[in-house]
Structure 1
Amino acid sequence: MWPNLKCKEVLSMKKITSMMLAGIALAIVSVSAFAQSWPVRPIRLIVPFAPGGGVDLTGRVIAPKLSEALGQTVIVENRGGAGGLIGVDLGAKASPDGYTVVIGTIGNIAIAPHLQSKMPYDPQKDLVPISQLANALNVMVINPSVKATTVKEFIALAKKEGSNISFGSSGSGATDHLAGEVFNTLAGLKMTHIPYKGGAPAMIDLVGGQVQVIFATVSTAISSIQGGKVRALGMTGNQRYESLSEVPTIAEAGLIGFDVNGWYGLYAPAGIPKDIITRLNAEVVKILAMPDVKTRLLDAGIIATSSSPEAFAAYAQAETKRWAKVVKDANIKTD
C-alpha cells in the first residue's frame, strides 16, 4: 500500500489515520448527542424591529407556542434599526448552538443586498432558513378624490396625469416603495415616489391628499378603508384578504404579473446542527397551522405560511434575484 515506507512507518501512519477517523466519529456523535439533548436553557428569538409592528406581532404570537412545544422559554428580544439589518446581523453572528434564532424579512434578506453598498452579513452564507412564517399583506389605496374605482381606471388616469401622480411609501427600499416601482414598470407609468419615515405618516398624507396612492400594509390601511377615508383598489400579493374579500388582487384587476409579498421567515446562524433545524421546523409548522395562531395573525393582515427549510431557501433565493432586477431597472436608491 505504501511501497516506499518501512513497516514501522506504515504502522505509524495507519495509527494516525485510525485516530483521525475515530476523532471524526466522536465529533459526529457529540454533535448528535448535543442536538438530542437540546434545548436545556431558554432560547432567544430576535425580532429586528421595534415593538408593535407586524414582525413583532408574529414573533410574539409564535414564541409562547414554541416555548410550550420545546419545554424551554423562548424570549422575544427586539433589536430594531437600519431596516432590520442590526437585528438580523446580531442573529447571524450568534453562536450556532440553537439558542438564538431571528426573524428575517423580504427587506433585510432579499432587497437590502441590492441597496446597501456594504452588507454587515451575507443572507445566503451567514444564515440558515428554518421556515417561512408569514405573508404580510399590502393593499393599494388611493385618495377618494382620485377619479378611479379600479386598477385599470387608475392606470388610464395616471398615464394622462404623468408625474403629477405621486405615491408615498414608508421609506426608500421598503416593500411598499418597491411595490410602487413594480407598478410603474408593469403599467408603463412615471409616478413620483415620496418617501416617508414610516407607513403611518404616509397614510396621513394620503388621507390629506398630499399623495394620491400608497401600497400600504393592511394593518396600516384597514381602519381608513373601513372609515371611507381611502379607497382600496387591489391587494399587492397573489391572494385576497378575507376581511376585504371584495378587493381583488392587482393581477386579478388587470395588471398581469404584479405580485409583491411582504414575507417573514425564521432563520438561525449558519453552522447550527441539522437535527435542531429539523426539530424547529417541525414545531413551527405545527404552530402556524393552529387555528388561534392563524386567526390572530389574519386579524392584522398577516397570513400564516410555513414551509420546509429547503423550500424556503429556494423561495428566498428566487426573491433575491427578482428584486435585484427590480432595483436595477428602477434605479432605486436608499435615502
Structure 2
Amino acid sequence: MNKLLSAAAVGAACLATPAFAQDWPSQTVTIIVPYAPGGIADIAARTVAEAMTQEWGQEVIVDNRTGGAGFIAATAVAQAEPDGHTLFVADMGVNVINPSLFDEVPYDPAADFIPITMISDTPLVLAAHSGTPFETVGDYFEAARAAPGELSFGSAGIGSLNHIVPEWISYEMDLEVVHIPYRGGAPAATAVASGEVEVGVLALSSVGPFVDSGDIRILGVAREERVESNPDVPTLIESGVPNVAAGQWAGLFAPTGTPEDVVGKIHTDVVAFLESDEAAETFGARGAIVSPMAQEDFAAMLDTLRGQFATIIDAAGITAE
C-alpha cells in the first residue's frame, strides 16, 4: 500500500509540474529586431529564424521594429507574454550602451530580458589611414601623446559603438584624440581611407576593400583573441591596452518570466545550429564569426560590459544627440 501511495504521489507531483517545453512552440515564434532589414542583428535573426523554423516545425518570423534608438523594440519585448513565442535579437546599443547614454530608458536590459546566447560577432579593428606613419598600435599612441588634440578618429555617430571604443582606448592610455562623427559606419570607413581622419575603430568587414586597395592599415583588433582570418593582427590587449574588447555582436534574448525549460530548449537548439558548418559559412560570408555561449557566460559578459561602458561614457562626457 505504501508503495502504491508513493507511486501515486510521484505521479501527482509530475502532473503538477508544468512541462512547458513539451508543448512549445504551439504557435508562430516572432523574433523582434530593433533595426531595419540588412544590418547585423537582422541577418542574425533571419538566419536563426530560418533554421529554427525547420527545427521546431513552427514558423519563426522576424519583426523589424525600428526607431527610438531601439526603445520601441525593446519595450515591446519587455511587455510581451513571456511564453517563449516572442524573442529578441539585439546588440550592444540596446543592451549595454543605452542605459548609460540616455537620461531615461523605458526598459531595463538587466531585469527585462533573459540572455540566451550570443549569435554572431563582427570584430572591430583599430584602423589607420595608410598615409600615416602608424605601423603598430604603439606608433599611434606615441603620435597621439606627442601631439595632444591634433589627431582625429571617425565614428558612425555620437554614442555609437565605434565612438565609445576609441574613447575607451583613449581613457585607458591617457590620450587626447578628437572625435569626428559621421552618418554611419561606411562614411566613417571612407573618411579613414581618404585620410580625412587618421584612425577609426571600424568593423573588420567594412575595411577589407580599403585594406586590399592599400588605403587602410589594420593596427589591432578589439577582441580577447586574434581573428582567424587575420592571424597577424594583434589584439589591443596584446598591444598594451587593458580591458578593451568589444565587437558588433548580435545576441538572442527572451522576456523575463519565460519558463526555464523553454529557454533551455531554445538555447540548446540555437547553439546546435550555430555550431554547424552551415552557420559558420553563412555568417563568415558576411564577415561575422559565430559565437555561441553558455547562458551564464553571456549574462556575465553583459554585466561586465555595462559597467565598463558606463565608466567610459561618463568619463568622456558622451550624451545622446
Above 0.5 in TM-score?
yes
1:241 touches 1:301 (CA, 8 Å); kept in 2? no
1:33 deviates by 4.4
Partner of 1:299: 285
| Deviation sequence 1:14-42 (CA, Å, 0-9, x none) | xxxxxxxxxxx99x958824442111221
For residues 30 and 218 of structure 1, the distance between their equivalents in structure 2, rounded to whole angstroms, comes to: 52
| Deviation sequence 1:133-157 (CA, Å, 0-9, x none) | 2222111111111111111111111
Structure 2 counterpart of 1:60, from 46, 52, 68: 46
Q: Which runs of 4+ in 1 moved over 6 A?
A: none
1:165 touches 1:191 (CA, 8 Å); kept in 2? yes
Structure 2 counterpart of 1:259, from 231, 239, 245: 245
1:263 deviates by 2.8
Partner of 2:256: 270
1:120 aligns with 2:106: yes
Instruction: Give the SS at the match of 1:207.
Output: helix
Partner of 2:210: 224
Output aligned runs, 1:1-335, within 5 Å: 32-335=18-321
For residues 90 and 299 of structure 2, the distance between their equivalents in structure 1, rounded to whole angstroms, comes to: 12
For residues 17 and 73 of structure 2, the distance between their equivalents in structure 1, rounded to whole angstroms, comes to: 27
| Deviation sequence 1:251-298 (CA, Å, 0-9, x none) | 223334332233321111111111111110111110110112012213
For residues 276 and 238 of structure 1, the distance between their equivalents in structure 2, rounded to whole angstroms, comes to: 31
1:248 deviates by 1.5
Instruction: Give the SS at the match of 1:162.
Output: coil
Kindly provide the amino acid, as one letter, of the partner of residue 258 in structure 1: V
| Deviation sequence 1:213-256 (CA, Å, 0-9, x none) | 11011222121112212111111111222222222112223334
Partner of 2:9: none
RMSD over aligned CA atoms reads: 2.0
Greater CA drift, 83-92 or 280-289: 83-92
Partner of 2:6: none
1:88 touches 1:103 (CA, 8 Å); kept in 2? no
Q: Unmatched 5+ residue regions in structure 2?
A: 1-11
For residues 105 and 113 of structure 2, the distance between their equivalents in structure 1, rounded to whole angstroms, comes to: 13
Q: Unmatched 5+ residue regions in structure 1?
A: 1-24
Instruction: Give the SS at the match of 2:183.
Output: coil
For residues 157 and 255 of structure 2, the distance between their equivalents in structure 1, rounded to whole angstroms, comes to: 28
Kindly provide the amino acid, as one letter, of the partner of residue 82 in structure 1: G
2:144 touches 2:177 (CA, 8 Å); kept in 1? yes
**Percent of paired sites with the same residue:** 33
Q: Which has the larger radius of gyration?
A: 1
1:130 deviates by 1.5
Q: Tell me the TM-score normalized by structure 1.
A: 0.87
For residues 294 and 169 of structure 1, the distance between their equivalents in structure 2, rounded to whole angstroms, comes to: 28
| Deviation sequence 1:88-147 (CA, Å, 0-9, x none) | 222222111211101121221111101111111111121112222222211111111111
Flag the 1:208–1:116 CA change in 2: closer, same or farther, 3 A: same
For residues 318 and 311 of structure 1, the distance between their equivalents in structure 2, rounded to whole angstroms, comes to: 11
Kindly provide the amino acid, as one letter, of the partner of residue 72 in structure 1: Q
Kindly provide the amino acid, as one letter, of the partner of residue 128 in structure 1: I
Instruction: Give the SS at the match of 2:237.
Output: coil
Greater CA drift, 85-94 or 160-169: 85-94
Instruction: Give the SS at the match of 1:255.
Output: coil
For residues 309 and 106 of structure 1, the distance between their equivalents in structure 2, rounded to whole angstroms, comes to: 17
Flag the 1:105–1:31 CA change in 2: closer, same or farther, 3 A: farther
Aligned length: 310
1:32 touches 1:275 (CA, 8 Å); kept in 2? no
For residues 167 and 114 of structure 1, the distance between their equivalents in structure 2, rounded to whole angstroms, comes to: 22
Flag the 1:285–1:268 CA change in 2: closer, same or farther, 3 A: same
For residues 246 and 89 of structure 1, the distance between their equivalents in structure 2, rounded to whole angstroms, comes to: 42
For residues 263 and 209 of structure 2, the distance between their equivalents in structure 1, rounded to whole angstroms, comes to: 39
Kindly provide the amino acid, as one letter, of the partner of residue 263 in structure 1: W
